[in-house]
């Protein structure tokens, strides 16, 4: 089945927003930031409407196609970005974060939106809760990771005493580090709930909470890693670069898990 | 009509001369009245800031206008007539307009690109308007100058970068820390540049500032000047554990902070980021300290380097700005061509009517005192200026819709201005 035309409109809007952020960088016109943000907001609202309409038209169970899952991830990334722009001087990072959302978006468009031959396993409310929470946490981990990369780049410039240009319009190192940490924290909460939902799903369909499946063990391993990291960050002084590099290990594990699962 | 500016600024006159010539905000309306009375100029404006005092006038012919304005300045401030000979500059017409555009755009400022001057020009313009000494000619010129200044700010990067070492340090600090207000600052040693950096940090809202000096008395002295809280030199280590920003400028043979010491300190600090500014020569902090995680070390050369690169960027921006100004000056005078005679004829006609009628009325009302006479004079003058405002705008636009001839020609016919010529 073709994707509804609305999704292509949103694609164009997100693309325009990214373009406006790039122009802001090149031409240094402040008014372009407000314009880019407005375009992003319009894109987000339309995206939300189209996705909800799409999900309702597909009917229960929700979110079980890869199209839906990646759409949700992309939507959440844009939402988190807008939220951060509201609280921090964060809009310039749109030039990096929006393309990430776009990648998920474009990949989703290459996938089938409908799903026949549903297995009974997926027709389970636990499955919906699990997928919703896990893909939202993935989006949050993603934003946190990108902010971490920005931190590393900005920090190395300050260390190398290179000034001016692109990076001076980003938030301070302290702010980036804070966003990275808080992003991880909230992502972790979603991830934890998602794992619980997954266990519930497993119990109701297979009769056990945890199986010996390697993927399940890996996901619990990643959970344990982040649980330790978030608790030890301050006492161990994993602030700034060290913490970001360490957390990236967990993040890569997460990516491995997602790729493995899809 | 001729534009004339006479004045002096930070480049031509020392501060003690500028001080004497300064007009306070309150005395400007009165000074403007005296200016027009003494110089017989048609319009006038006074721009008085701590870096410049300039008098802008519009008059029929320059003639001895420069001399008259200079005398006005010296007489008003009770100085010798020759006091300003060596430090005054003057420009007429095109140069005067260009000068105003440059001043309003902050190209003539001590720190090129600083934004205050535009506000000060605006203020001077408002005062002249309120005192009714700014008429159609100055209005047009000032409006244009403010427009050009805005355009330059938008199209170039002139106001973006501050150039001093102190502001370069603050800029860096802002790239590292989210909010400077709640950061602890430590000043080691009492040097001029160190104090300057602290001054910039205070401007950003830093409140917790500590001073450590070999001589505790000197630290106390600085504290008395309101620079910060004095701390004995022996407590340096403890305070280093707390501080987020450290500015050091002490004369030492061996570095005050070694890599090893800093390593230990960072452990105590739980790796909390610290920004170290080493202004000392020889250096106060071992360069290897900068390699540590979450330690940002900049020395005086690094800051100078940044300051220089900002200056270079400013030079590029000012070149762009100068180009904009040249174009705008040209455009300004082009828009005047053709309209000026009509406008000046119209102005002359109205002025002669006003003078005639005023003399007649005042002749009839013999019992009026000077103040009342002056009030009537001002009142009629402002009526004329206000009547002339709209025609001046229409002239600028060139054509009134529905008319087959230009506005200038129309006005000439309507007011029979050809007869006047």
Same domain, A153 and A79: no
pLDDT band at B22 (very low <50, low <70, confident <90, very high): confident
Interface test with B, best of A31, A154, A172, A179 (most B CBs within 10 A): A172
Interface test with A, best of B294, B309, B317 (most A CBs within 10 A): B294
Domains in chain B, number:
3
**In this predicted structure, what is the pLDDT of residue A92?**
83
Same domain, B193 and B110: no
Domain of residue B403, residue span: 339-420
Please identify every residue of B annotated as catalytic: 50
Same domain, A145 and A238: yes
pLDDT tens string B391-412: 777 776 655 556 666 677 777 7
Q: What is the predicted ipTM?
A: 0.86
CATH, residue B20 = 3.30.460.30
Q: Is residue B244 part of a domain?
A: yes
Same domain, A103 and A2: yes
Strongest mean pLDDT among A250-259, B192-201, B397-406: A250-259
Q: Is residue B316 part of a domain?
A: no
Q: Is residue B326 part of a domain?
A: no
Question: In this model, does residue B421 exceed pLDDT 60?
Answer: no
DSSP assignment of B338-382 equals THHHHHHHHHHHHHHHHHHHHHHHHHH-TT--HHHHHHHHHHHHH
**In this predicted structure, what is the pLDDT of residue A1?**
47
Helix, strand, coil % over all residues of chain B, rounded to 5? 55, 15, 30
Across the A:B interface, residue pairs with CB atoms under 8 Å apart total 61
CA distance to partner chain B, nearest, from residue A3 (Å): 43
> Which has more pLDDT, A1 or B142?
B142
Q: Is residue B271 part of a domain?
A: yes
| Chain A CB within 8 Å of residue B271 CB | yes
Same domain, A218 and A129: yes
Same domain, A139 and A240: yes
Query: Does the beta-carbon distance from A240 to B177 stay under 8 Å?
Result: no
Mean pLDDT of B93-120: 86
**In this predicted structure, what is the pLDDT of residue B161?**
58
CA distance to partner chain B, nearest, from residue A229 (Å): 15
pLDDT tens string A113-128: 555 555 666 677 888 8
**In this predicted structure, what is the pLDDT of residue A18?**
92
Domain of residue A141, residue span: 121-262
- The rounded Cα B159 to chain-centroid distance in angstroms is 12
The tokens for A160 are: 């190398």
Same domain, A105 and A125: no
Q: For the CA atoms of chain B, what is the radius of gyration? A: 29
pLDDT band at B149 (very low <50, low <70, confident <90, very high): very high
Same domain, B291 and B356: no
Q: Is residue B29 part of a domain?
A: yes
Same domain, A110 and A126: no
**In this predicted structure, what is the pLDDT of residue A40?**
95
Mean pLDDT of B32-49: 91
Q: Distance between CA A111 and CA A97 in Å, rounded?
A: 22
Q: For the CA atoms of chain A, what is the radius of gyration? A: 19
Q: Distance between CA B40 and CA B279 in Å, rounded?
A: 56
Q: Is residue B172 part of a domain?
A: yes
**In this predicted structure, what is the pLDDT of residue A28?**
66
Q: Is residue B317 part of a domain?
A: no
The tokens for A177 are: 């580090």
Q: Distance between CA B55 and CA B14 in Å, rounded?
A: 18
Same domain, A137 and A252: yes
Question: In this model, does residue B420 exceed pLDDT 60?
Answer: no
Same domain, B245 and B282: yes
Question: In this model, does residue B88 exceed pLDDT 70?
Answer: yes
Same domain, A98 and A222: no
Sign of the alpha-carbon dihedral angle for A207, A208, A214, A220: positive
Closest CA to B186 of B219, B225, B224, B221: B219
Q: Which residue, of A114, A149, A169, is where some domain finishes? A: A114
Same domain, B119 and B216: no
pLDDT tens string B201-232: 888 888 899 999 888 888 888 788 777 888 88
Same domain, A180 and A152: yes
pLDDT tens string A11-69: 999 999 999 988 887 776 677 888 999 999 999 999 999 999 888 887 777 777 788 88
H or E stretch covering A140 = helix A125-159
Q: Distance between CA B89 and CA B73 in Å, rounded?
A: 13
Q: Which residue, of A89, A114, A139, is where some domain finishes? A: A114
Q: Which residue, of A58, A87, A114, is where some domain finishes? A: A114
Mean pLDDT value across chain A? 87
| Chain A CB within 8 Å of residue B207 CB | no
Domains in chain A, number:
2
Give the range among B49-63, B116-130, B137-151 with minimum mean pLDDT. Answer: B49-63
Mean pLDDT value across chain B? 85
Same domain, B206 and B259: yes
């Amino acid at each position: 089945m073709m994707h509804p035309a609305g999704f292509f409109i949103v694609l164009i809007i997100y693309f325009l927003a990214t373009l406006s952020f790039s122009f802001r960088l090149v031409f240094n016109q402040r008014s372009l930031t407000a314009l880019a943000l407005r375009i992003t907001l319009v894109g987000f609202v339309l995206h939300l409407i189209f996705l909800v309409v799409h999900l309702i038209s597909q009917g229960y169970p929700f979110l079980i196609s890869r199209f839906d899952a990646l759409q949700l991830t992309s939507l959440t990334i844009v939402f988190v970005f807008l939220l951060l722009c509201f609280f921090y001087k964060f809009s310039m990072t749109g030039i990096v974060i929006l393309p990430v959302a776009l990648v998920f978006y474009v990949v989703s468009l290459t996938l089938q939106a409908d799903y026949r031959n549903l297995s009974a396993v997926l027709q389970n409310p636990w499955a919906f809760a699990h997928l919703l929470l896990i893909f939202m946490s993935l989006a949050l981990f993603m934003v946190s990771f990108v902010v971490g990369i920005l931190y590393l780049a900005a920090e190395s410039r300050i260390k190398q005493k290179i000034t001016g240009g692109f990076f001076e319009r980003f938030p301070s190192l302290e702010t980036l580090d804070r966003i990275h940490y808080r992003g991880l924290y909230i992502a972790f909460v979603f991830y934890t709930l998602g794992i619980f939902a997954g266990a519930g799903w497993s119990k109701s369909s297979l009769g056990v909470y945890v199986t010996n499946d390697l993927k399940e063990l890996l996901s619990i391993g990643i959970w344990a890693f982040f649980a330790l990291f978030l608790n030890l960050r301050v006492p161990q002084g994993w602030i700034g670069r060290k913490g970001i590099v360490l957390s990236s290990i967990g993040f890569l594990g997460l990516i491995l898990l997602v790729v493995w699962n899809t | 009509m001729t534009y004339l500016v006479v004045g002096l600024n930070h480049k031509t006159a020392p501060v003690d001369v500028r001080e004497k010539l300064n007009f306070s905000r309150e005395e400007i309306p009165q000074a403007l009245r005296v200016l027009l009375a003494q110089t017989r100029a048609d319009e006038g404006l006074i721009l008085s800031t701590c870096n410049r005092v300039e008098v802008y006038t519009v008059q029929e012919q320059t003639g001895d206008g420069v001399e008259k304005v200079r005398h006005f300045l010296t007489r008003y401030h009770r100085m010798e007539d020759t006091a300003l000979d060596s430090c005054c500059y003057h420009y007429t017409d095109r140069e005067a307009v260009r000068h105003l555009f440059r001043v309003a755009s902050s190209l003539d400022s001590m720190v090129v690109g600083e934004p205050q001057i535009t506000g000060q020009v605006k203020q001077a313009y408002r005062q002249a308007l309120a005192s009714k000494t700014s008429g159609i000619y100055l209005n047009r010129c000032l409006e244009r100058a403010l427009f050009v200044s805005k355009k330059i700010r938008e199209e170039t990067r002139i106001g973006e970068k501050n150039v001093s070492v102190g502001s370069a340090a603050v800029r860096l600090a802002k790239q590292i820390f989210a909010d400077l207000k709640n950061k602890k600052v430590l000043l080691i040693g009492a040097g001029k540049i160190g104090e300057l950096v602290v001054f910039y940090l205070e401007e950003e809202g830093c409140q917790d500032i500590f001073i450590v000096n070999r001589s505790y008395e000197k630290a106390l002295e600085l504290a008395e000047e309101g620079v910060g809280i004095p701390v004995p030199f022996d407590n340096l280590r403890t305070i280093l554990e707390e501080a987020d920003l450290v500015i050091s400028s002490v004369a030492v043979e061996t570095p005050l902070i070694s890599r090893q010491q800093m390593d230990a300190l960072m452990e105590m600090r739980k790796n909390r980021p610290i920004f170290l500014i080493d202004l000392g020569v020889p250096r106060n902090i071992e360069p290897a300290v900068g390699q540590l995680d979450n330690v940002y070390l900049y020395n005086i050369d690094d800051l100078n380097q940044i300051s220089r690169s900002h200056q270079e960027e400013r030079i590029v921006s000012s070149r762009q700005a100068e180009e904009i100004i040249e174009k705008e000056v040209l455009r300004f005078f082009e828009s005047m061509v053709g309209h000026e005679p009509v406008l000046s004829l119209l102005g002359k006609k109205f002025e002669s009517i006003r003078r005639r009628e005023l003399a007649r009325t005042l002749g009839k009302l013999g019992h009026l005192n000077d103040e009342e006479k002056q009030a009537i004079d001002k009142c009629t003058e402002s009526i004329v200026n206000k009547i002339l405002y709209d025609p001046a705008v229409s002239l600028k636009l060139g054509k009134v819709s529905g008319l087959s001839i230009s506005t200038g020609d129309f006005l000439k016919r309507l007011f029979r201005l050809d007869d006047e010529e």
